[in-house]
Amino acid sequence: MRLLPALTFGTLLLPLAAHAAEPHSYAQPDQVQVTHLDLDLKLDFPHRELDGQATLKLDWKNPQAPSLVLDTRDLKIAKIEALGADGKTTPLNYVLAPRDKQLGSKLTIAAPTHPAQVRIVYVTSPDASGLQWLTPEQTADKKLPFMFSQSESIHARSWVPLQDSPAIRFTYTAHVSSPKDVRVVMSALNDANHPLNGNYTFDQPHPIPSYLLAIGAGDIAVKETGPRSAIYAEPSVVGKAAHEFEDTEKMIATTEQLYGPYRWGRYDILVLPASFPYGGMENPNMTFATPTVLVGDKSLVSLVAHELAHSWSGNLITAASWRDIWLNEGVTTYVQGRITEALYGKSQADEEALLDARALQKEIGKMPANSQKLAPDPRGINADDSLSDVAYSKGSWFLRTLEQRFGRAAFDDYLKGYFNHFAFQSITTEQMLDYMKPNLIDKYPGKMNLAEVKDWVYGTGIPKNAPLPDSPRFDKIDQERSAFLDGKLSADKLDAKGWNTQEWMYFLNRLPDVTPLAKIQQIDSAWHLTGTPNAEIGMRWYTHAIAAGDKAVWPAAADHMTRIGRLYLTLPLYQALATTPEGLTYAEKVYATAKPGYHPLTQQAVEAIFAKAHKIEN
């Protein structure tokens, strides 16, 4: 998933669930494990529901196990039955526990005879936390309704009853029926030439963790970008997206050269409406992506490099619990940098690494000590909060450090071996370290010792001597920014004509949190940032302008906030407005208009900002 840079939610304390190794799931994989899921679902747009059944194939581990325990959230369950080898069904008793705010409802199915398969007939809630239902008006083309899932971290349970833990991997098949003109895609092999007939079947033959279950449906056109890749998007978006992402096949080939074959068959991309709360989601075979990276100059396509890299780090080797999520995101961000370097040059890759590193340096000291660790104590964190920039930026910084110490050739060789060794498994940080010791640290003695490695993994802050890439272009921007702030250089004399997205991001990131209003107005009259179509620049610009007290930008900021539901591009504007009573009132007015188009996760996050602001007011 891509949610960065520099976005962390508040830290919530979680109750420990029954399965202590993964406190975010009620599943008991030591008793019984789901090995295959078969879904039969009907898309009901008017009621915003998925209606159907899930059949789970089971591998009973404990001969005395009395029951199968599953994760659910807000599911209405009609019936549960055991399926015999002869196809005969027997009803099963079950208890659906009261809903826990974080974890949902524990579903305990009495199954003392250990059936090979269990079938659950159910319907999802219109407010399912893992699904968003959009009216035609909320889409780009305004013709048909749209729906999509976002299962990571623990939202698969809101649309499928299952063992919702990254430690458990299963294969899946599905049949989905839809209105005839709606195309359905899933995180499985998709057929670009599938007729619009309202009937879709899917097969994911590789075992995946539940958070990679995904579905999308709407007015979706398809455009091939290579022999094994295509873009899926609304008709008005698909051409632009296919152009922006035309290097996808080159990215796949580059990653294969570095780390071995792409093992999933096709790699397609679904570009979602702008309400998608994240940058991208690495759903197997079908990356889900935000349209906010379609800026016309490929400057933000590292998002595709990131999601593609997950086909190795994350989808092939998965973190066994949310506490270990840096194994997914840190390794992926490192691999993303290598793909970017190979395709777009070292200076582009270095700029992106430096942006992440500087943002982390600024933020990490403000976080609770436990959250500063790559492998924190899991009891102190919420599953969605594990995806902080520590996992991404500190994780990738650690890998860049390893590369520098051991040399690129040796480290590439090691990482390729690591991907092969743990392919299609879910592992813990400790398993990774046990593998690293003989295969890297001891193999090349004198380069980096285990104590240094453990300081990166279990220590707080950023280790001393962590290497930073050089960027002469960023250095020049630093000099110009200082001269501008000191009054020695006027805004129109900034050498910004040729700045790419990252260079603007860097300039804006490093302005003071509250920049004098006059300086903000000078930048805007020279460079016309208000109204920019580039949402990365817009997010930073409006945040600064609001903080400086420039009310002239409010309407343009409101337009940005209403158009874009991606958390990281929208929340900072709400946060900036909420610091004054007048701004808070304005933000609440904007939200009233924007809310119907926001994903449940975005709604939750904005409402949390308002609640906090009102608490401070009182």
Catalytic residues: 307, 392
Of the pair 332, 348, the CB lying nearest Zn ion is at 332
Q: Quick check: 390 and 374 in contact, CB under 8 A?
A: yes
**Alpha-carbon distances of 219 from 143, 178, 186, 200, 235, rounded to whole Å:** 7, 12, 15, 15, 7
Per CB under 5 A, the list member of 1, 4, 111, 548 interacting with Zn ion is 1
CB of 484 to Zn ion, least distance (A): 35
Q: Which residue's C-beta sits nearest to Zn ion?
A: 1
> Which residues, other chains included, contact 472 with Cβ-Cβ below 8 Å and sequence gap of 6+?
none
Of the pair 329, 403, the CB lying nearest Zn ion is at 329
**HSE on the CB side for 332, CA within 13 Å?**
34
> Which residues, other chains included, contact 436 with Cβ-Cβ below 8 Å and sequence gap of 6+?
414, 418, 453
| Pairing assessment for the beta strands 221-226 and 425-427 based on DSSP bridges | unpaired
CB of 319 to Zn ion, least distance (A): 11
Of the pair 1, 339, the CB lying nearest Zn ion is at 1
> Which one, of 210, 201, 215, 115, lies nearest residue 171 by Cα?
210
Cβ-in-10-Å burial (0-12, 13-18, 19+) of 455 comes to middle
> Which one, of 84, 607, 85, 75, lies nearest residue 94 by Cα?
75
Residue 240 CA, chain-centre distance (Å), reads: 23
CB of 308 to Zn ion, least distance (A): 10
Distance, in Å, from the CA atom of 115 to the CA atom of 34, rounded to the nearest integer, reads: 12
Distance, in Å, from the CA atom of 328 to the CA atom of 425, rounded to the nearest integer, reads: 12
Which positions from 289 to 328 touch Zn ion by CB under 5 A, shown as an x/- string?
----------------------------------------
Which run of H or E residues covers position 201?
strand 199-209
Count of positions on this chain that bind Zn ion (CB under 5 A): 3
DSSP letter string, 550-590? -GGGHHHHHHHHHH---HHHHHHHHHHHTTSHHHHHHHHHH
Stretch that binds Zn ion, among 72-80, 329-337, 562-570, 578-586 (CB under 5 A): 329-337
Please work out, in degrees rounded to the nearest 5, the angle formed at the alpha carbon of residue 565 by the alpha carbons of 564 and 569: 70
Of the pair 245, 527, the CB lying nearest Zn ion is at 245
CB of 432 to Zn ion, least distance (A): 17
Of the pair 138, 153, the CB lying nearest Zn ion is at 153
Stretch that binds Zn ion, among 1-9, 20-28, 51-59, 144-152 (CB under 5 A): 1-9
Of the pair 119, 566, the CB lying nearest Zn ion is at 566
> Which one, of 210, 215, 156, lies nearest residue 190 by Cα?
215
CB of 330 to Zn ion, least distance (A): 9
Q: Which two tokens stand for residue 131?
A: 């699904």
Distance, in Å, from the CA atom of 129 to the CA atom of 158, rounded to the nearest integer, reads: 6
Of the pair 124, 332, the CB lying nearest Zn ion is at 332
When asked if residue 339 is in the footprint of Zn ion (CB under 5 A), the reply is: no
CB of 18 to Zn ion, least distance (A): 29
Residue 131, SS3 per DSSP? strand
Of the pair 283, 332, the CB lying nearest Zn ion is at 332
Question: Which residues contact Zn ion (rule: CB under 5 A)?
Answer: 1, 329, 332
